[in-house]
A and B are shown apart, each in its own frame.
Chain A
Amino acid sequence: MAKESKSGRYDLHSRRRRVLGLDKGQALKGLFGGNALVSVIVLALITFFLFKEGAGFFGQYRHDIELYRKSGLEYVEIMKKETDSFSELNRYLNSIRGEHASVLKERGLSFAEAKAELSSYEDFIYNFEDLGYPLREYVLEMNEVAIGARNMFVEASNYREHRENLLALGRDEEAAEVEVLDVDLSVFVEMIKEGEPDFLALNDKVAVGIIRLTDDLPTIGIEKLDDKMQRFKELALMFVSEMDGYETRLAEWDPQEPVGMGSAFASFVFGKDWVTNSSIQDWYGILPLFTGSLLVASIAMVIAIPLGVGAAIYINQVATPAEQNFIKPYIEFISAIPSVVIGFFGIAVFGEFVRQASGWAIFSGLDAFPISERLTAFTAGCLLALMAIPTIFTLAEDAINNVPKSFKEASLAMGATRLQTTMRIIVPTSLSGIISAILLGFGRVIGETMVVLLCAGNRIEIPDFTDGLATFFEPVHTMTGIIAQELGEVVNGSIHYRALFMVGMVLFLLSLLINYLAQKIVLKYQVSRG
């Protein structure tokens, strides 16, 4: 090269070397462009792939629900709900007795004395329990029939598929050997339906029994417990009046009613159960997971927003340079703690700490305390707050820093104090930046996996929001947690696998929405620097 340039020093039209018709500049551009293309394609592929895997879910789910209806399982489920609420009543009754026993124990009665005391209304409890037996037996029997029918049908369709596969491969002889039963589900449904008068008769018997028993309510002699007994009576009568509802639902039930895509979709989006590997019927309702995620994230945000934004204001407006130089890198450094380490800290130290702290005397006035669970939504929320703080802090601090200096100077010159300047000028001006910082912090929290997997307790249930404070101290499960927990064990392509992809898709869309909103807010409400 050196030689060439020497000889052609004044040759402005020196020929460029070309390889495959490209000179060096074009080749480089091609290289960069090619890489950019690969990146864009891959990132697009991720989106496409999630949608592709998720899209198959609804079809499969619809098919599942249809089978659930056609095999009569849905019908049995209605009856089962009724017996379940009867068992609920029983449990309530037993809890009264349990409470009574502990009251007696506190009074210092010996075991025999307490037993004698309790036995006064023992008959009542047993009689009440006995009322439910025939009902439960009947439902169990019907359940067996329906499950048997469903399983036979599934097996038959598996065999049919196997035979068709063999035929497609041209192995006719083997295909002929595969026996396929024709399972007509309607026969079984008829069988179940035929029993309806029996069930109604049983129902009537139970209703009469409950009314007869509750007329003669035993009294315990302790005001609190007697109140509960009265409440039990109300509940029992309510159950009796609800029985009609179950009966009409049974009468209206139609096995041939078509299951649309809409109901599969609704069952996913609004479904209250996430039940997998069940012998009866799997349900994939995202609601418990979604509310769990939301609950944990809200707890985290309630803690993180004041702390994160407050720290940002403090560092930018109040702190001395020495403090700034130390605290800013420190908080940025927190964001580098791996989430699994924080989760481990929660499981090893913090969870136990929260439980012990809830027993402290200052909290004794609160109903919810002391709590019994170590790993709850609150535990996870606190730890997630620590993860959200660096995000919120860094971005909010940037936003505050971007407020033109003249704003501050003008305000101070008008005689406002520093606090007034901060609260009325600086924060409102940078509010769009702060809000987008909060949104991005929220996005980080809702997408966090390891902390919630380790510390949220993993109970799939919609938190009971009527409990007041105790709601926050219940174990929950989250969308990210369920993916991490169950994805390792599912069969490729099964409905469960696709359901998890759907959950991933919901997360994906949610995070896109949050990011989009954050960007929009920043752009829309940016201060003009005139």
Chain B
Amino acid sequence: MPATASIRKERPTEGLGFHKKPSKAKSTEKAFFWLFRLGTYFILLCSSVIFLTIFYKGSQTVFQTEFPFVNVEFLTEAPQTLHVFEYEGEQYELSDNNFRAFEEERGVEIDTTTYAYSGGGIWPCIVGTVLLVVGAMTIALTLGVLSAIFLSEYSKPGKILNAIRLSILNLAGVPSVVFGIFGLGFFVLAGPIFSFSPFEGYDFQFWPLPIYFGFAGWNVSLIAGCFTLAFMVLPIVISASEESLRAIPQGLREASLALGASKWTAIRTNVLPYAMPGILTSSIIGVARVAGETAPIMFTAAYAMRDQLPWEGLEKWTDFFFQGVMALPYHIYVVSAKIPQNEYTERMQYGTAFVFLFIVAGIALASILLRIRMRKKYRW
């Protein structure tokens, strides 16, 4: 490097007064490169416009100028009807709960204009999304990582393995809505149910045990959504984990085996620790994908509106899994396409989109940063 620098110093190209006339090839080059540059920055501009619009308008809902600066009601309440009214010369906008308290306090009945879904907050949606993501990722990671270990470490290479690998890779590109209809047809309408008491539509009993079994379906429920989402990301998790396992040089395994370690010890001590960062990054991408998808949960898990939080009003503990939940992406869809639009719903829309984008983008950003760091750390 220093050599080139010194050569440059000896032959300054600028400031001598005789610029070469740019050749035609040089000018076209410049023009083309500017075209590419503009195109690239155009992409950045477009996406920035989206980010900033949602950030700007959404922050007006989520944040406020007075203490505590964050709109606590928006983050901790359920969506409610908004009442807009005038009382004693003042304009009020109150969500349903507050409005009732207001009426009771003053002992009056007030005529109001109501706007569905425009008041309250999105707490149940956040809870639902978190539950769906946790459930789906637990299933997908357990199945996916263990399968990847088997495929890359234990299985014998051959035609069957290649076919499996190819089909997993292909399934990773299948549209999410296809997984959605699969989830509806399989889990929601025909999910297998075990029960200690006979239920409607059971197929047989594990005689003499009091266990009944049948493909009665799980209905629109948390568990159906978790499984649907899990199988949607499963191909991604498997192929990404396998890739990071296979990226570990064979020498590490061989050295360990040569020292007398068993196969599992070799994998545990010399493969997994180095593959872990890669697996972790891929799983975080999986989380972002699971959290961001709407189509698979539309018919498997999401309710447009539910009064109770998932842990409220349960008769038995299994009910927790067999209940529909609200979810952020579906809520955005409902408030932006299914209800009449007005200035009050707009606040709800942007607020929800902001929180949702914040969560998903945060996860994605973490995975990108992690990957950049890992790339620097491990180079074989």
Contact = CB atoms under 8 A, between A and B. Distances in A.
Contacts of A307: 39-40, 42-43
A314 B44 CA distance: 13
Interface in B146-175: 146-147, 149-151, 153-155, 164, 166-175
B146 A31 contact: yes
Interface stretch (A34-42, A180-188, A283-291): A34-42
B143 interface: yes
A488 B349 CA distance: 22
A331 B186 CA distance: 36
B283 to A, nearest CB: 14
Contact of B333 (A45, A337, A450): A450
B234 A337 contact: no
Interface in A397-456: 417-420, 440, 443-444, 446-450, 453-454
A330 interface: yes
Contacts of A319: 37, 40
Contacts of B259: none
Interface stretch (B74-82, B85-93, B355-363): B355-363
A217 interface: no
Contacts of B186: 45-46, 49
Given A501-B181, A504-B178, A419 B299 contact: no
A32 to B, nearest CB: 4
Given A39-B144, A43-B231, A516 B40 contact: no
Contacts of B44: 327, 330-331
Nearest to A24: B264
Given A35-B150, A36-B151, A307-B42, A332 B368 contact: yes
Interface residues of B, number: 86
B181 A336 contact: no
Interface string B318-336: 0000000000010011001
B231 A35 contact: no
Given A42-B234, A337-B357, A454 B147 contact: no
Contact of A333 (B263, B350, B364): B364
A266 interface: no
B25 interface: yes
Interface in B239-298: 262-264, 288, 291-295, 298
A300 B360 CA distance: 24
Grouping DSSP codes into helix (H, G, I), strand (E, B) and loop, the A interface class, with mixed when no group exceeds half, is helix
Interface string A320-347: 0000000101111111111111111101
Contact of B356 (A28, A341, A417, A419): A341
A35 B142 CA distance: 8
Interface stretch (B6-14, B45-53, B118-126): B45-53
Contacts of B295: 449-450, 480, 483-484
Interface stretch (A166-174, A196-204, A505-513): A505-513
Nearest to A389: B43
A487 B181 contact: yes
Interface string A259-280: 0000000000000000000000
A306 interface: yes
B182 interface: yes
Given A318-B36, A336-B361, A512 B174 contact: yes
By Cβ-Cβ distance, the 5 closest A-B pairs, closest first, are: A447-B175, A336-B364, A338-B292, A32-B150, A314-B36
Interface of A: 24-25, 28-29, 31-33, 35-36, 38-40, 42-43, 45-46, 49-50, 53, 306-308, 310-311, 313-315, 318-319, 327, 329-345, 347-349, 386, 389, 393, 417-420, 440, 443-444, 446-450, 453-454, 480, 483-484, 487-488, 492, 500-501, 504, 507-508, 511-512, 514-516, 519
22 contacts: A32-B146, A36-B150, A38-B143, A39-B143, A40-B164, A42-B231, A306-B39, A310-B35, A310-B39, A314-B37, A330-B47, A336-B364, A337-B360, A338-B360, A339-B294, A348-B346, A453-B337, A484-B180, A501-B181, A507-B178, A511-B175, A512-B173
Interface of B: 25-26, 28-29, 32-33, 35-37, 39-40, 42-44, 46-47, 50, 53-54, 142-144, 146-147, 149-151, 153-155, 164, 166-182, 184-186, 189, 231, 234-235, 238, 262-264, 288, 291-295, 298-299, 329, 332-333, 336-337, 346, 349-350, 353, 356-357, 360-361, 363-365, 368-369, 372
